[in-house]
A and B are shown apart, each in its own frame.
Chain A
Amino acid sequence: GQQLNQSPQSMFIQEGEDVSMNCTSSSIFNTWLWYKQDPGEGPVLLIALYKAGELTSNGRLTAQFGITRKDSFLNISASIPSDVGIYFCAGQLSTGNQFYFGTGTSLTVIP
Chain B
Amino acid sequence: EAQVTQNPRYLITVTGKKLTVTCSQNMNHEYMSWYRQDPGLGLRQIYYSMNVEVTDKGDVPEGYKVSRKEKRNFPLILESPSPNQTSLYFCASRRRHQETQYFGPGTRLLVL
Residues of A within 8 A of B (CB): 1, 4, 6, 9, 31, 33, 40-45, 48, 88, 90, 92, 97-104
The verdict on B75 contacting chain A, using a C-beta distance below 8 Å, is no
- CA gap between A45 and B99 in the complex, in Å: 9
Determine whether the beta carbon of B56 is less than 8 Å from that of A102.
no
Are A98 and B48 in contact (CB-based, < 8 A)?
Answer: yes
Which 5 pairs, one residue from A and one from B, show the smallest C-beta to C-beta distance?
Answer: A42-B103, A1-B59, A101-B43, A101-B42, A103-B42
How does the 8 Å CB contact mask read for B16-44 relative to A, with 1 for contact and 0 for none? 00000000000000010101000011111
- Name the B residues within 8 Å of A4 (CB-CB): 42
Q: Which residues of A contact B4 (CB under 8 A)?
A: 42
Is A97 in contact with B48, judged by CB distance below 8 angstroms? yes
Contacts of A102 in B (CB 8 A): 42
Interface residues on B, range: 20 to 34
A44→B103 contact, CB < 8 A: yes
Bound Cα distance A103, B44 (Å): 10
Q: Quick one: which of A44, A92, A103 contacts B41, CB cutoff 8 A?
A: A103
What's the Cα separation between A104 and B31 when bound, in Å? 24
Which residues of B sit under 8 angstroms from A1, Cβ to Cβ?
44-45, 58-60
Contact of A31 among B35, B45, B99, B104 (CB under 8 A): B99
Cα distance, A78 to B92, chains bound together (Å): 31
A41 vs chain B, min Cβ distance (A):
6
Confirm or deny: B106 has a beta carbon within 8 angstroms of a beta carbon on chain A.
yes
CA distance A44 to B105 in the complex (A): 11
Alpha-carbon separation in the docked complex, A31 to B105 (Å): 25
Q: Which residue of A lies closest to B48 (CB)?
A: A97
Which of chain A's residues have a CB closer than 8 A to the CB of B45?
Answer: 1, 98-100
Query: A1 CA to B44 CA in the complex, in Å?
Result: 9
| Neighbour of A45 across the interface among B43, B59, B101, B104, CB < 8 A | B101
| Docked complex Cα distance between A45 and B94 (Å) | 12
